Chains A and B, each alone.
Chain A
Amino acid sequence: MTVIFDGIASGMLLFLISVGLSVTLGLMNFVNLAHGAFAMLGGYVCVTLLNRAGVPFLASLPVAALATALVGVVLERTLYRRLYAATHLDQVLFSIGLVFMSIAGAHYFFGAQQQPMVLPQFLQGQINLPGLDIGIYRLFLVVLSLAIAYGLNRLVRGTRFGAQLRAAVDNPRAARGIGINVERIFTLTFALGTALAGLGGALGVEMLGLDPSFPVKYIVYFLIVVAVGGSGNIMGSLVASLILGVVDVAGKYYVPQIGAFVIYAVMVVMLIVRPQGLFGRRAAR
Chain B
Amino acid sequence: MQATLALDLAPIARADRWRPAELAFWLIPVAAYFIFPENLVLLTQIAITALFCLSLDLILGYAGIVSLGHAAFFGLGAYAAGLLAAHGWGDPLIGLAVAAVVTAVLGYVTSFLVLRGADLTRLMVTLGVSMMLYEIANKLTDITGGVDGLQGMEVLPVLGQFEFDLYGKTAYWYAVAVLFVLFWIARKLVHSPFGLSLKGIRLNAGRMPALGAPVNGRLSTVYTIGAAYAGIAGALLAQTTQFVALDVLAFNRSAELLLILVLGGSGSLYGALLGTIVFMSAHHLLSDLNPQYWQFWLGALLVVIVLFARDGVMGGLRRFGARLGRIQQ
Question: Are A88 and B306 interface neighbours, CB within 8 A?
Answer: no
In the assembled complex, which residues on chain A have CB atoms less than 8 Å from the CB atom of B299?
A: 96-104
Q: Which of A89, A104, A257 is close to B292, meaning CB atoms less than 8 Å apart?
A: A104
Binds B, one of A2-10, A11-19, A242-250, A269-277: A269-277
Question: Given A31-B120, A93-B305, A94-B307, are A220 and B135 neighbors across the interface (CB < 8 Å)?
Answer: no
Which residues of B lie under 8 Å from residue A52 when comparing CB positions? none
The reply to whether the CB of A58 lies closer than 8 angstroms to some CB of chain B is: no
Taken together as a complex, chains A and B put the C-alpha atoms of A250 and B325 apart, in Å, by 65
Q: A92-B258, A94-B302, A97-B300 are in contact. Are A82 and B132 (CB under 8 A)?
A: no
- Taking the complex as formed, is A133 at the interface, i.e. its CB lies under 8 A from any CB of chain B? no
B80 to chain A, nearest CB (A): 20
Q: Which among A31, A94, A216, A268 has the greatest number of chain B C-beta atoms within 10 A? A: A268
Closest partner residue, chain B, to A91 (CB atom): B306
**B139 and A261 form a contact (CB under 8 A):** yes
B129, B298, B299 — which one has the most chain A CB atoms within 10 A of its CB?
Answer: B299
Given A216-B251, A275-B118; A267-B124 close (CB under 8 Å): yes
- Decide if B143 is an interface residue (CB 8 Å cutoff): no
Judged by a CB distance under 8 angstroms, whether A227 is at the interface is yes
- Within 8 Å CB of B117, what residues of A? 271, 275-276
Tell me, yes or no, whether B121 is within 8 Å of chain A by CB.
Answer: yes
Main secondary structure of the interface of A (DSSP, over half): helix
Asked if residues A275 and B132 are in contact (CB atoms below 8 Å), the reply is no
Taken residue by residue from 103 to 128, chain B's Cβ proximity to chain A (1 for < 8 Å, 0 otherwise) reads as 00000000001001111110111011
Within 234-285 of A, Cβ neighbours of B (below 8 Å) are at 257-261, 264-265, 267-268, 271-272, 275-276, 283
Task: Bits for A73-107, please: 1 = Cβ < 8 Å to B, else 0.
Answer: 00000010011001111101110111111111101
**Interchain CB contact under 8 A, B135 and A96:** no
Whether A122 is near chain B, meaning CB under 8 Å from some CB there, is no
Instruction: Please state if A92 and B127 are interface contacts (CB–CB under 8 Å).
Output: no
CB contacts (< 8 Å) of A258 on chain B: these are 135-136, 139
Q: Does A210 contact B (CB under 8 A)?
A: no
Q: Are B295 and A104 in contact (CB under 8 A)?
A: yes
Q: Mark B155-186, 1 if CB is under 8 A from A, else 0.
A: 00000000000000000000000000000000
CB contact list, B9-68 vs A, under 8 A: 60, 66, 68
- Contacts A88-B119, A220-B251; A272 near B113 (Cβ below 8 A): yes
Q: Does A145 contact B (CB under 8 A)?
A: no
Q: A88-B120, A259-B135 are in contact. Are A268 and B113 (CB under 8 A)?
A: yes
Q: Considering the chains assembled together, what is the distance between the CA atoms of A108 and B290 in angstroms? A: 11
For the complex, would chain B's binding face be called helix, strand, loop or mixed by DSSP majority? helix
> A92-B66, A268-B113 are contacts. A98–B303 as well, Cβ < 8 Å?
yes
Q: Residue-by-residue, is B270-311 near A (CB-CB < 8 Å gives 1, otherwise 0)?
A: 000000000000000000000011011011111101110010
**In the assembled complex, which residues on chain A have CB atoms less than 8 Å from the CB atom of B128?**
220, 224, 264-265, 267-268, 271
Query: Any chain B CB within 8 A of the CB of A223?
Result: yes
Known A108-B292, A220-B127, A267-B124; judge A88-B302 contact (CB<8 A): no
Given known pairs A98-B303, A223-B127, A271-B124, the reply for A261 and B132 (CB within 8 Å) is yes
CA distance A82 to B306 in the complex (A): 10
A80 CA to B113 CA in the complex, in Å? 30
A231 within 8 A of B: yes
Chain A residue with the shortest CB-CB distance to B131: A264
Complex Cα–Cα for A160 and B296 (A): 41
Provide the residues of chain B in CB contact with A79, threshold 8 Å.
Answer: 303, 307
Q: A90-B310, A220-B127 are in contact. Are A283 and B300 (CB under 8 A)?
A: no
B259 close to chain A: CB less than 8 A: yes
* B317 contacts partner chain A, Cβ-Cβ < 8 Å: no
Q: Please measure, in the bound complex, the distance between the C-alpha atom of A272 and the C-alpha atom of B126, giving whole angstroms.
A: 12
Bound CA span A134–B123, Å: 37
Beyond A79-B303, A283-B118, is A89–B127 a contact (Cβ under 8 Å)?
Answer: no
Query: Do B302 and A93 have beta carbons less than 8 Å apart?
Result: yes
B262 lies within 8 A of chain A by Cβ: yes
- Assuming the A-B contacts A96-B255, A99-B299, are A283 and B135 also in contact, with contact meaning beta carbons closer than 8 angstroms in the complex? no
Instruction: Give the Cβ gap from B324 to chain A, nearest Cβ, in Å.
Output: 29
Instruction: Give the Cβ gap from B172 to chain A, nearest Cβ, in Å.
Output: 30
Q: List 18 A-B contacts (CB under 8 A).
A: A88-B66, A89-B258, A90-B306, A93-B258, A94-B306, A94-B307, A96-B255, A101-B299, A220-B251, A223-B127, A224-B124, A231-B120, A261-B136, A264-B132, A265-B132, A267-B128, A268-B125, A275-B118
The residues of A with any CB-CB pair to B shorter than 8 Å are: 25, 31, 79, 82-83, 86-90, 92-94, 96-105, 107-108, 216, 220, 223-224, 227, 231, 257-261, 264-265, 267-268, 271-272, 275-276, 283
Q: Please give the residue numbers on chain B whose beta carbons come within 8 Å of chain A beta carbons, in ascending order.
A: 60, 66, 68, 113, 116-121, 123-125, 127-129, 131-132, 135-136, 138-139, 251-252, 255, 258-259, 262, 292-293, 295-296, 298-303, 305-307, 310
9 additional A-B pairs beyond A93-B305, A96-B258, A267-B124, beta carbons within 8 Å, are A88-B120, A97-B300, A97-B302, A100-B296, A227-B120, A267-B128, A268-B125, A271-B125, A275-B117
